[in-house]
Chains A and B, each alone.
Chain A
Amino acid sequence: MSAFLQIQAIEKRWAHDVTIGPISLDIARGEILALLGPSGSGKTTMLRLLAGFETADGGRIAVASEDVTTVPPAQRRFGMVFQHYALFPHLDVGENVGFGLQGRGKGDEGRVEQKISEALALVDLAGYERRKVQELSGGQQQRVALARALAPEPRILLLDEPLSNLDPALRERTRHELREVIKRVGITTVFVTHEQEEAFDLGDRIAVLNQGRLEQSGAPDDLYEHPVNLFVATFVGRANVFRGKAARALGANGKGVLVVRPERLRFGAAGLPGVVRERRYIGAAAFFVVESDDQERFEVLAEPDAAKVGERVYVEATRVIAL
């Protein structure tokens, strides 16, 4: 796996000793990388550094071995989809999509028109050229923003919280469409999100950021099953954290912390004793909130009728993550 986009020890210092980095990441050609982290983790700054809207205080960014660290955004040939899309309200859909095609001397008018309709067809908006952007729905605006970013055939595609402006019902479908378009084009993509589900669904690989540091990067199941620390374990997916006696009751042999996913716990005849305090029914299953004897609460995902509120139970783990 050769790196197409290389991020080497990139650093950004804001005032009052708020620092991002140094962060290093290699992204392969055609790969979709998710930058996942809570707000203030530096993921948006990272994206803006890649786009060139912020200048790095240290480190290096390279595309196909070409150093672009100090190249201004206009010459970087990185496409970007903004969180609120940033569609130009005074231009129609076609003019928006064609904006990046004019300045670069890409041939005659007919060629530009053809590129615009190709880009719109790609996002399933063929024939929308003369629509006003204000008349479009949120999902359509998002697709126009994507078509606009892709039309000039950029080297890298950057997406800033691409789905946060859509209502939840639309999000899942748009997510799949988005991934499909990106994979069809085959463009190397970096996107920012604070939602783990979105990162899992859309990204080939995920980089978890926290307080300006890269905590871990890897494939979704890798992060879920083998988190390197407590932050990644609890931020990526639901997690119960056990320490001391409770950890030992679930099979820990050392003094360390034990992380167990709710679906890796089950009610049994032996194990960690506790009382069911709450049952949250979600349809196919239910979350049971169990309180152990030392007043620690944790969640068990099980069949809806696996236990009753107030019942005394024993909980055992099918798989644990020892940290």
Chain B
Amino acid sequence: MTVRSKRSDLAAAALTLLLAWLVIYPIVIVAADAAHPSALRDFFTRPGEWAALWASIWISLVSVILAAAIGIPLAFLFEWFDFPGRKTLGALIALPVVLPPLVGVIAFLFLYGESGFIARAVQSLLHLQNAPWRLQGAVAILLVHAYSMYVYFYLFTRAGLAKLDVSMLEAAQALGADRRATLWRVIVPLLRPSLVGAAILTFMTALGSFSAPYIFGGGFRVMTTQIVATKLNGDLPLAMVETVALALVAVAGLAILRRTEGDDILVALGKGIAPRPRPIRRASVRWLAAGAGWGLAVLLLLPHLTLALVSLVPYGAWTTEVLPPVINFDNYRRLFSETERLRPLWNSLWMASASTAVAVVIALVGGWLVVRRRVALRRAIEALLALPWALPGTVFAIALAITFSVHAPLQLRFVLVGTAVILPLAYLVRALPLTGRGVLAAYRQLDPSLEEAAASLGAGRWRTLARVTLPQLRPGLAAGASLAFVAALGDIVASIVLYTYETRPVSIEILSSLRLAETGVAAAFGVVLMLVSAVVLGVGARR
């Protein structure tokens, strides 16, 4: 064995230990501590616990069904038919997924909530005494989930359809299959990997969803909100049992859905030309499709437009009117002139930057060890990088809160809760799958002879990294890093468990503004988050 490979094995061992300490160790500690007889008895005997767990499961399953029902037809419409505005709309309707969930939720609240636009309009139109509805409970949660998660099905199905070989459809027709038979016997089986992928993503997102149940849940609890409530009540042992239960549901759900995924062989075969979008012949139908498409786009963008409008309404100026009587930039002025209000924004920005930077470095080192050096531990490193994705954010938040509130250096446990380190650390754990996946995929596509060419031209390791490797990895790296940054910037799941007043991020400030009925400030924060996220993602997606 050469010196070089010995050194990379050593580096691989160090990285594996670091990752294990970050993503497995806290879970192990929680699982061990959760085996507490009285907490277990509490969990198994209280009906509220089972109700919350069951709610998490069925809400997630129904979310998958709703998202599929919206996303799949949309994908077929946009991939197979041509009508005016198809391209612009096709990009526009993927928008909800790139915005922080909390922003989407409060935008929804301002539009459809009991004191939202629509409710006010109906109320004044019908001269009602009270708001016509209360947006609360399971229905509200499902509405928000369907609104933001159909995008997974839409994007995955479109990607699957784009990979479909047109000659395969023609072959089916030549063999005498009619349209229905072609759909069910050719297209759907070929799309299955994409559909299952979307279902997994939707299920995991819905299971870990926190903002929607927290804001709209009312008395209706799912496991994520239940855990946070238990922890706030100070019943840590019970919170740990709940955390383990949620983690088990996530792992079981992932395992079951994975089994239905099938082989990749199906995808590998379809390597031909995708069918071109068919223009809709009949003018009336074409305009109907275009009209429906634009209507949909407006419907989808309406919450965010509402958010922008609400952010312009000064405190206490809007009481019972349908439209706000005053509009100015007061909220933004307050936000940017008062140091105390600006602090959460700075907190979020630096914590997101720091966690993303570290996640990028870890992903780069991991990618180099896994793909280039092909170290013995490559499977372990890859699995550890992906693991945080498989568990809801709340699970990690509680696990980190438990693990790093004890001073026991020999067990590698330190008191980090309450310091400025804990939130970036939590964001880092959530960022690893995003940067890891981006860098690994890019590294695998990178021709090793490019790096060898640089070496043969006299470039040392660092110059090769700076001038050849990094520029080539840039698209994958930027995509992963921008997703990680935006997720950290808008995070509420980990923040609500681990924040201190000094390190409170924007999401927490939005919640407290809402509690103080300062909707304008909350909306202004939401708009700022939305704009920063959009810019960062725009930069990250540039080729």
Contact = CB atoms under 8 A, between A and B. Distances in A.
Interface of A: 51-53, 55, 72-80, 82-84, 86-90, 99-100, 103-104, 148-149, 152, 158
B409 interface: no
A244 B463 CA distance: 64
A99 B457 contact: yes
Nearest 3 Cβ contacts at the A-B interface? A100-B457, A86-B453, A73-B455
Interface of B: 2, 4, 447, 449-450, 452-461, 463-464, 467-468, 471-472
A259 to B, nearest CB: 38
A80 B459 CA distance: 13
A201 B460 CA distance: 36
B452 A74 contact: no
By CB atoms of chain A within 10 A, which of B450, B453, B456, B472 has the most?
Answer: B456
A73 B457 CA distance: 8
B456 A103 contact: no
Contacts of A148: 453, 457
A88 B447 CA distance: 10
Contacts of B464: 74
B458 A77 contact: yes
Given A55-B2, A80-B456, A152-B458, A86 B449 contact: yes
27 contacts: A51-B456, A52-B455, A53-B455, A55-B4, A72-B455, A73-B452, A73-B455, A74-B458, A75-B458, A79-B457, A83-B449, A86-B450, A87-B453, A88-B467, A88-B471, A89-B472, A99-B457, A99-B467, A100-B457, A100-B459, A103-B459, A103-B463, A148-B453, A148-B457, A149-B456, A149-B457, A152-B457
Nearest to A53: B452
Contacts of A72: 455
Contacts of A87: 453
Contacts of A52: 455-456
Nearest to B453: A86
Chain A CB count within 10 A is highest, among B452, B455, B458, for: B458
A51 B453 CA distance: 10
B452 A100 contact: no
Contacts of B449: 82-84, 86
A77 B468 CA distance: 19
B452 A104 contact: no
A90 B457 contact: no
Given A86-B450, A88-B468, A78 B456 contact: yes
A100 B2 CA distance: 27
A103 B458 contact: yes
Given A84-B447, A86-B449, A90-B471, A73 B456 contact: yes
Given A55-B2, A82-B449, A90-B472, A99 B456 contact: no
Contacts of A73: 452, 455-456
Contacts of B453: 80, 82, 86-88, 148
Nearest to B474: A90
Given A55-B4, A82-B449, 14 more contacts: A73-B452, A74-B455, A74-B458, A74-B464, A77-B458, A78-B456, A79-B456, A80-B456, A87-B453, A88-B450, A88-B467, A88-B472, A99-B459, A158-B456
Nearest to A145: B453
A210 B467 CA distance: 38
A79 to B, nearest CB: 7
A148 B464 CA distance: 16
A161 to B, nearest CB: 12
A74 to B, nearest CB: 5
A55 B451 CA distance: 17
Nearest to B4: A55
Contacts of B450: 86, 88
B460 A82 contact: no
Contacts of A152: 457-458
